[in-house]
Amino acid sequence: MQIKPILFYNTLSKETETFKSLKEGEVRLYSCGPTVYDRGHIGNMRSYILSDIIRRTFEYNGYEVHQVINITDVGHLTGDNEGDADTGEDRMEKASVSLGESAQDIAKKYTTLFFTDIRRLNIDTEKIEFPRATEYINEQIAMVQTLQDIGYAYKVSDGVYYDTSMFKNYGKLGGINVDELEAGARVKVRKEKRNATDFALWKFSSPDQHRQQEWESPWGVGFPGWHIECSAMSRALLGRQIDIHTGGIDHIPVHHNNEIAQSEVVNKKKFVNYWLHNAFINVEGRRMGKSIGNLINLDQVIDRGFSPLSYRYWLLTAHYRTPANFTWDALEGSHAALKKLHRYFVDELNVTLGTVDSKYKEQFHAFINSDLDTPKAIALVWELMKDDSVSKKDKRATLLDFDTVLGLGLNESDESMVKLLHGGGQKLSVSDIPTNVKAIMDEREQAREQKDFRKADALREQLHVHGYEIEDTAVGPRLSKRKE
């Protein structure tokens, strides 16, 4: 097969570049994974679908892929994402207090749910390595030690910090204006920090607060900062230099610039050749957030009668760099489309396998190699379905070939994923929930958010009168028809 160029938009150069791997025929791919203090939502899933499409595209092009997604089970502070790495509580410890379970149990529970979610989206977890931050403490300490030895890290009263003024071009990813970052952070600058953008590499346990997760280190008992885990784990599993690093755009200014600053100094190499970032998913026109109360996870998708694959399909109809607005109506449309595709495949293309149509394959290949243009690839699927000049058996072969990249379950042996598409085993579809019942349900959720449990109970009674049961599960409310 003739090698075709693969083009990616690289956040580092802000240009579309032709991909060239570090090692011929192999790709090293690292993606920032979940912090397992809570259930992942459908926005997070876009990040994992991005790395999945990257892996499948490379496999389609004949590459071997070494893929890592880290699991953050310590050290991610509530202030970290705002570039305020020395403030806030550890998310794991905070969740432990509010849920009354150990940090370890919480990590276990949400890691399992994370695997469940991504498998439902047809991501093959067997092909990916999932290192936990708590399993790489020694590697993280060693990296911090090196940074200190060469003068890039300094110790203050609450931890060890990276001196960002030492790193030439700090903030180069995404063209971050460090002066602006500094100005924005000034009010919160700790007196002991040399620069506002300096960030914690190692934090000391506070003497007046018991921590469940802490380790001995050359500087004192404590825990690693959030950014160092990605530098240490990608180095341990993929080497000192990698081809591709992915994540959501929110990670560009702070987390990924900090990873670069750490890794390039310790590894003495350019850390990553291609940085790919996905734009955000909003819900009904609003940013998704716990405080807004509009987080949606895959259980809710299933409870409303949709297959997770319909969500995958919906995601692929938008380019990963385009912000997308999720609505239940849009998902309903994707669900109907995917169901139609499956029906067509099962009913109309129930023939022996022919050969892949070279003209269509050529186009498909060009689309996915062009910065993962899945919307065009999906449009091509529909064009092929309607094209009577291609025989049914060749259509079957061609669609199956496309699906090795799209992952829409056409050849799926896991029936549970596809079952929902065919209408089997489902409780309530969104169109089955009367508007007034849905309104009560939403009002009750709001009451629960505001901890007005008396009102929430009264609304539960109302639902009962309408003939519905509501069950509050760890992953949100679940509505079903009341059994008489």
Binding site for ligand AMP (CB under 6 A): 32, 34-35, 43-44, 46-47, 247-248, 250-251, 278, 280-281, 288
Among the residue ranges 97-105, 197-205, 223-231, 334-342, the one whose residues contact Zn ion (CB under 5 A)? 223-231
Residue 12 or residue 32: which is nearer to Zn ion going by CB? 32
Q: At closest approach, how far in Å is the CB of 340 from ligand AMP? A: 27
Binding at 281: pick from Zn ion, ligand AMP, none (beta carbon under 5-8 Å per type): ligand AMP
Residue 281 or residue 377: which is nearer to ligand AMP going by CB? 281
Residue 283 or residue 420: which is nearer to ligand AMP going by CB? 283
**What residues contact residue 252 under an 8 Å CB cut-off, 6+ apart?**
11, 173, 174, 176, 275, 277
Residue 43 or residue 409: which is nearer to ligand AMP going by CB? 43
> 3-class SS at 6?
coil
Are 81 and 254 in contact, with CB atoms under 8 Å apart?
Answer: yes
Q: Nearest residue by C-beta to ligand AMP?
A: 248
Residue 90 or residue 403: which is nearer to ligand AMP going by CB? 90
Are 213 and 74 in contact, with CB atoms under 8 Å apart?
Answer: yes
Residue 225 or residue 305: which is nearer to Zn ion going by CB? 225
Token pair 């602006």 is at which residue? 180
32 binds Zn ion (CB under 5 A): yes
Q: At closest approach, how far in Å is the CB of 356 from Zn ion? A: 38
What are residue 469's DSSP bridge partners? 480
Distance CA 40, CA 428 (A): 23
User: If 0-12 CB within 10 Å is exposed, 13-18 middle and 19+ buried, where does residue 435 land?
Assistant: exposed
Q: At closest approach, how far in Å is the CB of 76 from ligand AMP? A: 7
Instruction: Tally Cβ neighbours within 10 Å of residue 374.
Output: 23
Binding at 222: pick from ligand AMP, Zn ion, none (beta carbon under 5-8 Å per type): none
Binding at 230: pick from ligand AMP, Zn ion, none (beta carbon under 5-8 Å per type): Zn ion
**What Cα–Cα distance (Å) separates residue 406 from each residue in 365, 375, 376?**
12, 10, 12
65 binds Zn ion (CB under 5 A): no
For CA atoms 190, 191, 197, 199, give the dihedral sign: negative
Distance CA 155, CA 162 (A): 9
How many residues of this chain interact with Zn ion, rule: CB under 5 A?
Answer: 2
Token pair 């914690």 is at which residue? 200
230 binds Zn ion (CB under 5 A): yes
Q: Applying CB under 5 A, which residues contact Zn ion? A: 32, 230
